Amino acid sequence: DFFNVVATSISTDHSFFAYAVDTKGSEFYTLRIVDTTTGEELPERVENTAGSFEWAIDSQTLVYVRRDEETQRSKWVYRHTIGTREDDVLLYTEKDDAFFVGVGRTSDDRYLMINTHDHTTSETWLMDATTPQENNLQVVEPRQKDVEYHVDSHPQGLYILTNRDGAVDFKLMMTAHDKLAADNWVEVLPYEAGSLLEDFSLFKDWLVVRHMRNALPEYFVINLNTQETYLISQPEEAYTLRPGTNAEFDTNTFRFVYASPSTPARVYDYDMTTQQRVLVKEQEIPSGHNPDDYTVKRVFARGHDGTPIPLTVLYHNDTPLDGSAPLLLYGYGSYGLSMSAAFNDSLFSLVDRGIIYVVAHIRGGMEMGYSWYTAAKQNLKKNTFKDFISAAEYLVDNNYTRAGNIAIRGGSAGGMLMGAVVNMRPELFKCVVAQVPFVDVLNTMSDASLPLTPPEWNEWGNPIEDPAAYDTIAAYAPYENVVAQPYPHILATGGLTDPRVTYWEPAKWVAKLRAAKTNDALIVLRINMDAGHGGAAGRFERLKEVALMYAFLLLVFDMAEAG
């Protein structure tokens, strides 16, 4: 009933195809290998992996991450050789329960990488990808608290993206292959406050860097031979960008994917020499779609402390902007994750009915730089909730909708946001969709035996050891702050095998809401008995979950059609 392939990779010589699959939703993945010559799956299977693996150059060796069955945490890195089953070699053990582990390979195929990190600290180990049997691990720079770095390799040297030495929004540095330590790093691109340097892609003659500036992504291209730099311009007011598959190192083509709330995903091959782009694929909408029928806006709400809060707005051109339209407001605001102005084809079922859709880029993400994240974590977490409320108030004040006619939606930590704001300002909202909502924050953060609790203390605080953190969480935790008052209509969902937000969190929250509400609000709970944090697997099962959510929204907006 549940089937999720989290990662796939083909060996260097194309003789083997490996994939990691989860059949329960528990996020324990089985690594399987197919012989591409025969099409047959090899008898060896590796159980209890974290779904992260990488081929060495010899096409006979896989390096992978294994999870601890008891704690459910990624902990060990092993080497597997094709044709063997029981004698995998342990390469690395992560001793810090707060750290996650993953593996990768550099763009020039020189190194295999072991990447370890929590939410604010990271460390990378390298091994020669051509001699994986030699166990020649070397650390780039030993971990230091609150220092992050991410590396890739080029024949010229190692490129390092880091926040070292106070570079809050990150800078790009470089060092020789035989001088890995941070004392040898030389600056390539300086830190620029408010312009978050998020990522980079290396090619033989080119460097492509991704900035997040004013809640919009930007790609800059640098010629490594001439140092000429230019921006890849984009046509719309609000949009999203992501890299496509860039498998070739020696190429002048950079593939990226562009989309906006009204424009389906478009895959472009960009010639870095001529600065021309070619459209190679566009997302097909079988029912038909004309982007010109819709308006996309980027507007700014004024936060409770005067901070401008970016909002991305999507509506049909025929929708009146006189305050009468229903509105769906989405938010997240945690872990420094930036919410993109992306295309979602299923949304048009609502937008074509006259519902305005808005994404609130609230603090807790990194849409406006790293400080956007730190301004809403731990003891400042309430800024996330207040920003979301300010967004709702702006939309009312500017006649997009009216108070009490707003639906809100969020999942996981965004579900915590939902629970917090309906406790604070229930009269603003018509209804709530809370998907796998992290609503039992205080109890979860007080249980160190749960898989994700130690890594999460950096985000929320440690209420076990820090009385101030306890008081802060207790003041906003959705479950603890349910009171006797009228509540909006609520649809809460969960997954039985969810290792991140355990199913009892939405269950106990709904039970308390039903007991406390002083009105006739419809409060519905659905636990998927065959899935985990990501919801149902499979195209049609996922569509059923979307249909349930939309049916709920249309019902409470009194827009459902008879029959």
- What are the DSSP E strand ranges found in 118-265? 122-128, 138-139, 149-154, 157-162, 171-175, 186-189, 195-202, 206-213, 216-223, 229-232, 240-243, 253-259
Q: Which residues contact 178 (CB under 8 A, 6 or more apart)?
A: none
Residue the block writes with tokens 């024949």: 155
The whole-angstrom separation of Cα 362 and Cα 393 is 14
533 part of the active site: yes
Cα 285 to Cα 82: distance, rounded to the nearest angstrom: 42
Contact 156, 110 (CB under 8 A): no
Residues sharing a CB contact under 8 Å with residue 202, sequence separation 6 or more, in sequence order: 107, 108, 152, 153, 154, 159, 249
CA 318 to chain centre: 33
Q: What is the DSSP string of 415-473?
A: HHHHHHHHHH-GGGEEEEEEES----HHHHHT-TTSTTHHHHHHHH--TTT-HHHHHHH
Alpha carbons 253 and 248: distance in angstroms, whole number: 9
Catalytic residue among 80, 150, 154, 533: 533
Up-side HSE of residue 508: CA atoms within 13 Å toward CB? Answer: 15
Q: Which pair of structure tokens corresponds to residue 519?
A: 């009105």
Count of other CB atoms within 10 angstroms of residue 522 = 13
Distance, in Å, from the CA atom of 252 to the CA atom of 272, rounded to the nearest integer, reads 6
Cross-strand partners of 152: 159
Name the residue among 413, 299, 304, 305 with its Cα closest to residue 356.
299
Q: Residue 418: phi, psi to the nearest 5?
A: -60, -50
The active-site residue, picked from 387, 412, 440, 489, is: 412
Q: Among this protein's residues, is 498 annotated catalytic?
A: yes
Instruction: Classify residue 504 as exposed, middle or buried by CB count within 10 Å of its CB (0-12, 13-18, 19+).
Output: middle
Residue 96 designated active-site: no
Q: In b/e form, how buried is each residue of 457-478, taking b as 16+ CB within 10 angstroms?
A: bbbbbbbeeeeebbebbeebbb
% helix / strand / coil in the chain, to the nearest 5?
20, 35, 45
| Other Cβ atoms within 10 Å of 245 Cβ, number | 8
Active-site positions read: 412, 498, 533
